[in-house]
Chains A and B, each alone.
Chain A
């Protein structure tokens, strides 16, 4: 057997592709579901936290900062394990996909909060003053003047961060969430061949390349009208 067919045999074995395709497709569906749920709740929670922080109520802001710093400092895997093995001992039993969703949502929220907050801070003071001087209240100024501009500035960093955290759905493997990597490693150990892992990698590329492209597109689109 020459090197080329040995390579194909190790990574792209046709019988294995056929055998594990359904499992990988199932895994893709699970990954998409969890990633979508994480993106939605994580970004929304991050936005809510940044908005709350804008009110500059000291104890509240301090709690938000502590939350954001903790969750950004801890490796997501540590959190996943901690929550998955810790919660049952205090009487809370969450299914593993819920643990993954909860943890990753909080991690994304922590990063998103910081990104939104940086966006809010970068809006010049004059914007607030112009709005306030026409009698527009704090909340409306935030809603109509500051956030629309801040959110535009955050599109690029937020897309990158979201992508990074959505990929962490692969951590579901260690707690038995049947997402892509979980299916791929199961296949790999049964078959004793890396082909299912190759398929998993391709599945990730198929899922996330469009998000990368979307991020690029949003970036140019939102940069468009700024002076």
Chain B
């Protein structure tokens, strides 16, 4: 990993409060091109909120975020144009139930990029092929397994050619036997050079796919390092406690 390349995602002093509750209390984070950064931390520590601030689904109360050098918070920034460049995958898939898999993937291509129907569908089909679901293009979400739905959701983000993909517990809603298929797609993305920020509890995946692991607690980054450092020799007491907890 060469460190002289500018980061894809740069977060500085990020703060977010919900009313009186301060959920993010000054987060600094850089994600370099092709890097996979893995975020762990106790429930309520602000992991989802951090991810959601990165495409402004949540409005930060302070600090700055830039994607590929563009200030996400600037008034002049077209947030919808930026969101195409920031793929997001949700724990609950959030596929559009009234559209086929192909329709789900093609929608933004048509409505945001203004592609013609045939062109959008060709691109959508290619994206579905990347997640191994080309043959399910005409299936509706209700006809797909959870793992397949999540892969369609990944294809939906992927089709727009994002600079970075944000994953918020992408496998937490899946039956254990379906987790592997989603992780496999994520490994392939990583191998293909995608920049990724992943919140997950899949520690095995973190060990063999993550470049860096970040431990968050109470709205702050407590510790970060290689998977080896964080999982096998954490320095901070809170990290040690958390790792011990999840290892049980």
Which of the residues B86, B95, B97, B140 comes within 8 Å of A133, measured between beta carbons? B86
Q: Is the CB of B141 within 8 A of A130?
A: no
Who on chain B is nearest to A152 by CB?
Answer: B98
Partner pick for A130 among B94, B98, B140, CB 8 A cutoff: B94
**B81 neighbours in A (Cβ, 8 Å):** 135
Pair B107/A129 contact, Cβ less than 8 Å: no
Cβ of A130 and Cβ of B112 under 8 Å apart?
no
A220 at the interface (CB under 8 A from B): no
A106 and B160 alpha carbons, distance in the complex (Å): 44
CB distance from A49 to the nearest CB of B (A): 23
Q: Return B65 CB to nearest CB of chain A, in Å.
A: 15
Q: Find the B residue at minimum CB distance from A149.
A: B98
The answer to whether B96 touches A133, judged by C-beta atoms less than 8 angstroms apart, is: no
Q: Is the CB of B142 within 8 A of A134?
A: no
Within 8 A of A (CB), among B81-118: 81-84, 86-88, 90, 92, 94-98, 107-108, 111-112
How many A-B pairs with Cβ below 8 Å?
71
CB-based contact A225/B97 at 8 Å: yes
Q: Which residues of B contact A127 (CB under 8 A)?
A: 94, 96
Decide if A136 touches B96 in the complex (CB within 8 Å): no
**Hey, which chain B residues are within 8 Å of A148, CB to CB?**
98
Contact assessment for A134 and B112 in the assembled complex, using a CB-CB cutoff below 8 Å: yes
Is the C-beta of A55 less than 8 angstroms from some C-beta in chain B? no
What distance in Å separates the Cβ of A28 from its nearest Cβ neighbour in chain B? 37
In the complex, which of the residues B83, B97, B140 contacts A132, with contact meaning CB atoms closer than 8 Å?
A: B83
| Interface check B49, CB cutoff 8 A | no
Contact pattern, B 209-222, Cβ under 8 Å of A = 1, otherwise 0:
00000000000000
Is B97's CB under 8 angstroms from A226's CB? yes
A140 contacts chain B at the CB level, 8 A cutoff: yes
Q: Given the known inter-chain contacts A129-B57, A227-B142, please indicate yes or no for A135 contacting B108, CB distance below 8 A.
A: yes
Q: Which residues on A sit within 8 Å (CB–CB) of B88?
A: 129-130, 133
Give the interface residue-count category, chain B. Answer: 20 to 34
Q: Is the CB–CB distance between A133 and B55 below 8 Å?
A: yes
State A130–B153 Cα separation when bound (angstroms). 9
| Residues of A with C-beta under 8 A to B98 | 148-149, 152, 225
CB-nearest residue of chain B relative to A141? Answer: B111
Bound CA–CA A124/B87 (angstroms): 20
- List of B residues within 8 angstroms of A124 by Cβ: 94
CB-based contact B107/A144 at 8 Å: yes
Q: How many Å lie between the Cα of A144 and that of B57 in the bound state?
A: 19
Question: Which residue on B lies nearest to A125, using beta carbons?
Answer: B94
Q: A130: nearest residue on chain B (CB-CB)? A: B94
Q: How large is the interface on A (under 10, 10 to 19, 20 to 34, 35 or more residues)?
A: 20 to 34
| A137 / chain B contacts, CB cutoff of 8 Å | 80
Contact B94 A136 (CB under 8 A): no
Instruction: State whether the Cβ of B125 lies closer than 8 Å to any Cβ in chain A.
Output: no
A145 within 8 A of B: yes
- For residue A227, which residues in chain B have a CB less than 8 angstroms away from its CB? 97, 141-142
Instruction: Jot down 25 A-B pairs with beta carbons below 8 A, ordered by A.
Output: A126-B90, A126-B92, A127-B94, A130-B90, A130-B95, A131-B107, A133-B55, A133-B83, A133-B88, A134-B108, A134-B112, A134-B157, A135-B80, A135-B108, A135-B112, A135-B160, A136-B108, A136-B111, A137-B80, A140-B112, A144-B107, A225-B97, A225-B98, A227-B97, A227-B142
Q: Give A residues with C-beta under 8 Å from B.
A: 124, 126-127, 129-137, 140, 144-145, 148-149, 152, 225-227
Enumerate chain B interface residues (CB-CB to A < 8 A). 55, 57, 80-84, 86-88, 90, 92, 94-98, 107-108, 111-112, 140-142, 153, 156-157, 160
Known A149-B97, A226-B97; further 10 A-B contacts with Cβ < 8 A: A126-B90, A130-B94, A130-B153, A133-B83, A134-B83, A134-B107, A135-B80, A135-B84, A149-B96, A227-B141
Closest CB pairs A-B (n = 4): A227-B142, A130-B94, A134-B108, A126-B94
